[in-house]
Chain A
């Protein structure tokens, strides 16, 4: 059974810092990996999706990497801002008949203070 772990569980940083969120998964046979953002009381917003054949994806100040063989992904946030404060979730998807079925980590609660 796939298990996804996110470290750290919570992170508090001053504005402007670069930071890294970590995600690990136990079964390397994944189809893709997604990073989501969740604001309090809201749904999830997809930030980046990395296919199993890719090594990284970038969107603005966000960069996500994937090392499938070691079962790890990182989300790099450059020049953090208070508006980045949210819970960040990592999720992996298996392929085939399990397409789209996501296994989530517990999330990292990020607080960026001015």
Chain B
């Protein structure tokens, strides 16, 4: 089915481990985003990408790395997970037409112990 999918949906990892959250969209949207959602902070932008091989930092990029070698994939890597990165992570995508809506994935629940 067309859409935007995230994996894994649920993950428990230990402090210091590397974790990669995957995001795949089937619309060939040029823009893709990673947000995290935390109680008390709402949704905050981590990284975004305007096209393949073009990425830029959002509001809270520290501790995260992204890549976009293909238009449809936008993985988010936590290089050395910390407890403060326990959160729900949402991937989103949008095409480049002005005023187009942004579509969100179902989220990845990450717990760092």
Contacts and interface: CB of A to CB of B under 8 A. Distances in A.
Contacts of B61: none
Contacts of B50: 99
A43 B94 contact: no
Interface residues of B, number: 24
A71 interface: no
Contact of B99 (A36, A41, A45, A51): A51
Interface of B: 31, 33, 35, 42-45, 48, 50, 58, 90, 92, 94, 96, 98-107
B99 A100 contact: no
Interface of A: 31-32, 34, 36, 41-46, 49, 51, 89, 91, 99-102, 104-107
Contacts of A34: 101-102
A99 B100 CA distance: 10
